[in-house]
Chain A
Amino acid sequence: MNKYYLLAEDISKKFGRRLIFNGLNFEYNHNGIYGIAGINGSGKSTLIKIIAGIISPSSGKVIHKLDDKVIEEEKLHNYVGFVAPYLIMYEEFSAWENLTHISKIRGIEFNKELFNSLLNDFLLIKRKNDLVKTYSSGMKQRLKFIFALMHSPKILLMDEPTSNLDDEGKETVYRIVNREGKNKIIVIASNERTDLDMCSTKIELEDYKK
């Protein structure tokens, strides 16, 4: 089994003069579910974007390693699965077209069986050929999970994973997160107690404001 290692070294982030967090250190070297907690505006999304390599920290660094080899920043997207409410899929395409285009841009094999099984898991199989703009917000959120899992990532980053989901959707997400958490690192940023209850350790961002 591949061994993934995530290390954050003294990271801080400022937007202009406003300090979001400072002196943040953590190390995840075992598969499992880890949490980032904090009130609204505490910087959970910022931190998860920094871990995903979407934005840079103001200071410090985040290191991703697979089998003791550092993953280059340019190639990080191949290893990361990402779910967030602000992630927007192409609404002019159907779910199936989104997956087709994205797999080609990623340069991965178009795995029809995997995509159908994910669509089935997230209860979108019957609507896979409908345009995403006709989906409800909960259906769009479920499609984001398929997007995050379609390339079999080594680490899964989730920002508010259960937002917009109904009870059935939440159950599906918890089931899949628990399943995936056995063979990869999952980081969840949320202020939902039920989301954070799945996490073995939690970073409380309010502790890093000085």
Chain B
Amino acid sequence: MKPYALFKKDYHSELRTRYAINSLTMFIIVALSVILFSIGNEKVPQNLTGGLLWVVIFFSAMSGLSRAFVSEEERGTSLILHLIAAPTTIFNGKLLFNLILVFLMNIVITILYSALFEEFIIRNFLLFFLTFILSNIGLAIASTIIAAIISKAGAKGTLYPVLSFPILLPLILISVMLTSYSMIGASFADAKMGLAVLVSYDVIMLTVSYMLFDFIWKD
């Protein structure tokens, strides 16, 4: 219940400050518009649209998901969290907030993307659904722990995408591959290895995050 209470605090805070929602919304609109304008009337190869979807998702995540810890650090309120909850509670609460934000953000991106790009046709919907769920979980876990790390640093804005890129690269590569599989209608047998990698990524990231967070949070 304590992590949920922290999530509720962040949710109410977000409604009042619009720290993440505004930047995320603007970024999604801008990113999709830039891709649309740059393509123009050209016919885009089908496998490229799957890759472009993950480019939009990656950079949108970079623009809003650091909020979990950076806003507390910037406003000087992280000391309150130190004084009212255990590190595990803080991480769980922030992870819950980022999970919901990532899912909402990516559902909006995927719906807009499907509506704007005719070539983006999913033939194996269940495979895409599984990829979407597993990738979003991985994205939320990785972005939460990276946000915790960079919140203590100086140039937060620059450091976040730079540090995120190598950590999220395996996730993005597998997600792009599985998305293109679901677009060509490949079977689950073909995608089995990719899905196993995504599950492993999520489990490893979650374990490492819990192991690291105490050290990151304390000093």
Contacts and interface: CB of A to CB of B under 8 A. Distances in A.
Interface of A: 52, 54-56, 74-75, 77, 80, 82, 84, 86-93, 97, 101-102, 104-107, 147
B99 interface: no
12 contacts: A54-B79, A77-B84, A82-B83, A87-B80, A88-B75, A90-B13, A90-B77, A92-B13, A92-B16, A104-B5, A105-B9, A105-B84
Contact of A101 (B12, B82, B87, B89): B12
B1 interface: yes
B100 interface: no
B85 interface: yes
A141 B12 CA distance: 23
Given A56-B218, A97-B12, A105-B84, A91 B6 contact: no
B214 to A, nearest CB: 9
Nearest to B14: A92
B213 to A, nearest CB: 12
Contacts of A86: 76, 79
Contacts, number: 73
B80 A89 contact: yes
B2 interface: yes
Nearest to B3: A105
Given A54-B82, A75-B86, A88-B77, A101 B17 contact: no
B6 A105 contact: yes
B8 interface: yes
Contacts of B93: 105
A97 B5 CA distance: 12
Given A56-B218, A56-B219, A104-B5, A88 B83 contact: no
Which secondary structure dominates chain B's binding surface? helix
A106 B85 contact: yes
B17 A92 contact: yes
Residue of B1, B5, B219 contacting most chain A CB atoms (<10 Å): B5
B75 A74 contact: no
Interface of B: 1-2, 5-6, 8-9, 12-13, 16-17, 75-77, 79-89, 93, 218-219
Nearest to B78: A88
Contacts of B85: 77, 105-106
A89 B9 CA distance: 13
B83 A77 contact: yes
Nearest to A97: B12
Given A90-B13, A90-B80, A104 B8 contact: yes
Contacts of A55: 218-219
Contacts of B87: 74
Residue of A86, A89, A90, A93 contacting most chain B CB atoms (<10 Å): A90
A74 B210 CA distance: 14
B159 to A, nearest CB: 21
A107 B13 CA distance: 19
Nearest to A55: B219
A166 to B, nearest CB: 23
B84 A106 contact: yes
Contacts of B82: 54, 77
Contacts of A82: 83
Contacts of A93: 12-13, 16
A207 B2 CA distance: 42
Contacts of B89: 105
Given A92-B17, A107-B1, A102 B80 contact: yes
Contacts of B2: 104-107
Given A97-B12, A101-B12, A87 B79 contact: yes
A88 B77 CA distance: 5
A201 B3 CA distance: 40
B86 A88 contact: no
Nearest to B17: A92
Nearest to A90: B77
